[in-house]
Amino acid sequence: MADEKKMMKVTIDNITIEVEPGTSILNAARQIGGEVTPPAMCYYSKLKGSGGKCRTCLVEVAAGSTADPRPMPKLVASCRTNVMDGMVVKNITSEKVIDARKGVVEFLLINHPLDCPICDQAGECSLQDLGYSHGSDDTRYEFPRRTFEKENIGPYIQLHMTRCILCYRCTYVADQLTNERVHGVLDRGDHSEISTYISKAIDNDFSGNMIDVCPVGALTDKTFRFKNRVWFLKPLDAHRDCPTCCGKVTLWNRGDEVYRVTARKDQWGEVEEWICNTCRFEKKNTSDWIIEGPTKVNRHSVISQGHYVGLKMPPETLKRVMDGRDPRILMEIHDVSGVNKPEIHLSELPGPAHSHDFLEKDVTRAEEYPGHVPQTLADVDAKTDSR
Amino acid sequence: MAKKLLLDKANVEGIRGYDVYRREGGYRAVEKALKMTPGDIVEEVKKSGLRGRGGAGFPTGMKWSFLAKPEGVPRYLVCNADESEPGTFKDRYLMEFLPHLLIEGLIISSFALGSSRTYIYIRGEYAWIPDILEQAAEEAKQNGWLGKNILGTGFDCEIYVQRGAGAYICGEETALIESLEGKRGNPRIKPPFPAVKGLWDCPTVVNNVETLAAIVPIINEGGEAYSKIGVGKSTGTKLISACGNINKPGVYEIDMTISVEEFIYSDEYCGGIPNGKRLKACIPGGSSVPILPANLLLKTAKGQPRMMNYESLSDGGFATGSMMGSGGFEVLDEDQCIVRHTLSLARFYHHESCGQCSPCREGTGWMEKILRNIEYGKGKMSDINLLWDIQRKIEGNTICPLGDAAAWPVAAAIRHFRDEFEWHVLNPVECMNRNYGLAHYADALEVPVAV
């Protein structure tokens, strides 16, 4: 027993756990799991030296240790603070922490473009999740958001500097996975940016992992750009015999088509094992891979919500608040638009809605609904021309 | 006339050169110190009660005793000459006119700490001073005070001067170390502290220029004698760089027993406010410390006169007090606009934020934009509360103290001068043409009667 390491007792949000010495508060909280775990935007357990920058994982230390039970004067970054024996940590039970975290989320979002509708990261974005769980629904920022000059960093990776939250994870990937780092943070303050040295392209066997570690949509897969939304894709675990990396990946398929390849991620959104660029960018055929089966996706993730069948509509409240009267509609959208027919319910469509879903059925349904004048886009065009 | 320990020879002709400095009693302290043991020197500094002159006021002797001393690992002493705080220029004066005083202090401190490679990290904007320091170090070397086997004690020491590239953040000790290593000047996450893992991952002490210069009189006069100067825990003398609306701006050496009122109005020091104007506000310790209105500056909340020392200036905490800081004493007369002044400070911190951690990176810019709106008559009443909320969310939540330094001036300005901000919001046109003036900021405050 003597040569066994002494375990350290730490209490996080009134849950006590024993961890090995040298464990950070964040990792101790991850061992407990659930809501007790602080969110982390910059810390990445597989990247040495990462963390401490985003300040979302701030926690209150109510008692430093058994030997020195004084509380720590400031909130500490749980990812970079190691536990002491008898430490008492408050995360969601501390109002100070909740308040500070809300502030950090607000700071992270004030200069973020919020272009989620056109962002490839949407649906698997840590900042989106953080905003939903800890942010406020309104912004107090009323100034123009900062912009950057666009920069091409090579054929595989698309850089959107406006979305970057400067977590420095991608620089650690370059430092620790590739032979030579050719990109980094230039300038300082709120105009600092991730960029390559004299616009040199990032070209390295493992550079694609920067895409996986990026918590936001600042670094996205150029070969997947604007191809699809992640929640329409079905993730599959697959592997191949790769000479450079482990070859264990997640394929993102729609039907038989492989849209993109990423490394497998664990429950904290962290890569399990790094993969090489050949696996990620070159092997886009199902025949390249041995498919193991569907990837387990957390049921809270929007990716697991990618089926619209059997959607339950919320009850109509407008009629109820108007004492049963129907609202008077000044202009019915269906009178002027050939798409989006009221009789075609989106939940009945197999997959995402497309304009031909509406046009084809238009002719057949016209007889079923004699009161409704069918109008196609061609009709509208004809009218405009005759004028 | 107060006793001067650092600047007593500053006006001697040619004191910048080695020969005159030596003739005036220079390097006596090195001769004395190298006969002592390093432990004795640290003990002497501890006895002196010297507090760090860079701004935080941490006891120097204690800092030195924290230095880890593992076998076979070099230790480093780094002199922080990255003096970039708006309103602070005391170190520049010391280095420019008394370079040998700093070199002498560095030799003694290096010996005490066991550092045989000592660095002076100087800010890039002091473009002409590195040459002065390098020349002084060279002269010292030629005369046997630096190099191998100094005075036959077997102690080797070299002093290197390293220019910074002009970043305020590199005055933060861990950012300074990063910069000295040739990296981007981002502050490190502490712990580990530099005393354990500093420059090149070796134990390191980072001290301010004035702190290291003050080692010379401590060794010459003895720690005991040094601790008798001043009051309480504010021992020795302090350099104050006074600027703003005063008749005689400049660097003054005070022994921390005089009152703030005397410092501003006596002819020996600032010589009063020009053109018969009245005092409105003052930042007593460099731009990061809270600004105080005239009534709270001259008298504490308890009604006692405020003195120029660490304890008295911080009397009342941030609610009614301020800090000694780095000794950048900025005086504002009744014609100055607090909103504009706060804006220029916010602009500075926005410009100088390193951008590593989110509250400071995003918050400083946000505060500047809101203050700009208020200053130019586009502010809203809710902006004042918003500013307060932003500074509250920056303070204490950042990696390094720059976040606090950016938050405190804004907080103090709103705390003490809220009516002036409100006046700006309510009179958007008038505030472009005239200033709010003195208002009630110099009125005597009601002192709570002791029960």
Does residue B4 form part of some domain? Answer: no
Instruction: Specify the CATH class of A113-226 in words.
Output: alpha beta
- Is 50 exceeded by the pLDDT of residue B301? yes
From the candidates A43, A106, A127, which should be mutated to test the interface with B, based on the most B CB atoms within 10 A?
Answer: A106
In this chain, the answer to whether the domains covering A8-105 and A113-226 adopt an identical fold is no
Query: Omega before A352 cis (within 30°)?
Result: no
CA-based nearest residue to B170, from B102, B106, B120, B121: B121
**Sign of torsion, CA B391 B394 B396 B402?**
negative
pLDDT at B231: 87
Min mean pLDDT across A118-122, A253-257, B284-288 is at A253-257
Per-residue confidence band for B141, with pLDDT thresholds at 50, 70 and 90: very high
Per-residue confidence band for A2, with pLDDT thresholds at 50, 70 and 90: very low
* Percent share of chain B, pLDDT over 70: 99
Domain match, B41 and B158 both: yes
* Percent share of chain B, pLDDT over 90: 66
The ipTM assigned to this model is 0.88
| Mean pLDDT, chain A, integer | 82
B282 vs A210: CA distance, rounded Å: 49
B369 interaction partners in chain A (CB closer than 8 Å): 143
Rg (CA), chain A: 26
Domain match, B203 and B344 both: no
Which amino acid is located at A328 in the chain? R
Domain match, B68 and B172 both: yes
Per-residue confidence band for A380, with pLDDT thresholds at 50, 70 and 90: very low
Per-residue confidence band for A387, with pLDDT thresholds at 50, 70 and 90: very low
B216: three-class secondary structure by DSSP:
helix
Q: Which is more confident, A315 or B176? A: B176
Q: What is the pLDDT of residues A131-141, one digit of tens each?
A: 988 888 888 99
Please, which residues 356-375 of chain B have a Cβ atom closer than 8 Å to chain A? 356-359, 361-366, 369
A262 vs A248: CA distance, rounded Å: 9
- Is 60 exceeded by the pLDDT of residue B84? yes
Q: State the alpha helices, DSSP H only, in chain A.
A: 25-32, 95-110, 126-134, 169-177, 209-213, 277, 318-321, 333-336, 355-368, 377-386
Inspect the interface and report whether the beta carbons of B357 and A52 lie closer than 8 Å.
Answer: yes
Q: Which is more confident, A187 or B121? A: B121
Q: Which is more confident, A178 or B162? A: B162
Does residue B439 form part of some domain? Answer: no
Domain match, B99 and B242 both: no
Domain match, B329 and B355 both: no
- Is 70 exceeded by the pLDDT of residue A338? no
Q: DSSP labels for B355-409?
A: S-SHHHHHHHHHHHHHHHHHHTT---HHHHHHHHHHHHHHTT-SSSTHHHHHHHH
DSSP state of B4: -
pLDDT at B391: 93
Q: Which is more confident, A355 or A191? A: A191
B29 vs B8: CA distance, rounded Å: 16
CB atoms within 10 A of CB B137: 24
A199 vs A259: CA distance, rounded Å: 28
Inspect the interface and report whether the beta carbons of A74 and B351 lie closer than 8 Å.
Answer: no
A197 near B CB under 8 A = no
Min mean pLDDT across A192-206, A227-241, A299-313, B211-225 is at A299-313
Does residue B5 form part of some domain? Answer: no
Boundary of a domain, candidates B333, B367, B384: B333
- Is 60 exceeded by the pLDDT of residue A195? yes
A75 near B CB under 8 A = yes
CB neighbour class for A224 (10 Å; exposed up to 12, middle 13-18, buried from 19): buried
Q: Which is more confident, A310 or A260? A: A260
Domain with B426 in it: 338-433
pLDDT at A64: 86
From the candidates A188, A194, A197, A216, which should be mutated to test the interface with B, based on the most B CB atoms within 10 A?
Answer: A188
A81 vs A249: CA distance, rounded Å: 32
B202 vs B429: CA distance, rounded Å: 58
Q: What is the pLDDT of residues A34-83, one digit of tens each?
A: 888 999 999 999 998 888 899 999 999 998 888 888 899 899 999 999 99
Boundary of a domain, candidates B333, B354, B378: B333
Asked if residue A69 lies in contact with residue A63, where contact means CB atoms within 8 angstroms, the answer is yes
Inspect the interface and report whether the beta carbons of A55 and B366 lie closer than 8 Å.
Answer: no
Q: Identify the CATH number of the domain in which residue B387 sits.
A: 1.20.1440.230
DSSP state of A148: -
Does residue B289 form part of some domain? Answer: yes
Domain match, B259 and B285 both: yes
Q: Residue range A372-381: average pLDDT?
A: 49
Q: Residue range B64-80: average pLDDT?
A: 91
A140 near B CB under 8 A = yes
pLDDT at A337: 66
Does residue B6 form part of some domain? Answer: no
- Is 50 exceeded by the pLDDT of residue B212? yes
Q: Residue range A265-276: average pLDDT?
A: 89
A258 vs A280: CA distance, rounded Å: 11
Domain match, B54 and B136 both: yes
CA distance B275 to chain A (A): 40
Q: Residue range A215-221: average pLDDT?
A: 91
**Sign of torsion, CA A295 A300 A303 A308?**
positive
Rg (CA), chain B: 22
Inspect the interface and report whether the beta carbons of A185 and B364 lie closer than 8 Å.
Answer: no
Q: What is the pLDDT of residues B356-375, one digit of tens each?
A: 999 999 999 999 999 999 99
Q: What is the largest CA-CA distance in chain A?
A: 95
Q: What is the pLDDT of residues B149-186, one digit of tens each?
A: 888 888 999 999 999 988 999 999 999 999 999 999 99
From the candidates B172, B354, B358, B386, which should be mutated to test the interface with A, based on the most A CB atoms within 10 A?
Answer: B358
Q: What is the residue extent of each domain of chain A?
A: 8-105, 113-226, 227-306, 327-386
B65 near A CB under 8 A = no
Domain match, B97 and B206 both: yes
Q: What is the pLDDT of residues A224-258, one digit of tens each?
A: 988 888 888 888 899 999 888 898 999 998 888 89
B138 near A CB under 8 A = no
Q: Which is more confident, A384 or B382? A: B382
What is the CATH code for A8-105? 3.10.20.740
Domain match, B81 and B176 both: yes
- Is 70 exceeded by the pLDDT of residue A385? no
pLDDT at B210: 93
Question: Which residue of A74, A75, A190 is in closest CB contact with B355?
Answer: A190
Min mean pLDDT across A8-12, A151-155, A280-284, B341-345 is at A151-155
Min mean pLDDT across A50-59, A60-69, A286-295, A327-336 is at A327-336
Asked if residue B214 lies in contact with residue B5, where contact means CB atoms within 8 angstroms, the answer is yes
pLDDT at A362: 47
Inspect the interface and report whether the beta carbons of B397 and A104 lie closer than 8 Å.
Answer: yes
A160 vs A211: CA distance, rounded Å: 11
A195 vs B243: CA distance, rounded Å: 41
Q: Residue range A16-45: average pLDDT?
A: 90
- Is 70 exceeded by the pLDDT of residue A365? no
Question: Which residue of A99, A165, A185 is in closest CB contact with B358?
Answer: A165
B75 near A CB under 8 A = no
Domain match, B24 and B128 both: yes
pLDDT at A374: 47
A140 interaction partners in chain B (CB closer than 8 Å): 386
Per-residue confidence band for A364, with pLDDT thresholds at 50, 70 and 90: very low
Domain match, B183 and B279 both: no
Q: Residue range A172-191: average pLDDT?
A: 86
Question: Which residue of B184, B359, B365 is in closest CB contact with A104?
Answer: B359
- Is 90 exceeded by the pLDDT of residue A334? no
Host H or E run for residue B312: helix B310-313
Does residue B445 form part of some domain? Answer: no
Q: Identify the CATH number of the domain in which residue B39 sits.
A: 3.40.50.11540
Q: What is the pTM of this model?
A: 0.83
From the candidates A42, A55, A83, A193, which should be mutated to test the interface with B, based on the most B CB atoms within 10 A?
Answer: A55
A52 near B CB under 8 A = yes
- If one counts the domains in chain B, the total is 3
Does residue B344 form part of some domain? Answer: yes
Does residue B350 form part of some domain? Answer: yes
Q: What is the pLDDT of residues B183-202, one digit of tens each?
A: 999 999 888 899 999 999 99
B189 near A CB under 8 A = yes
Q: Within chain B, how many helices (H) and strands (E) appear? A: 19, 11
Inspect the interface and report whether the beta carbons of A74 and B365 lie closer than 8 Å.
Answer: no
Domain match, B191 and B275 both: no
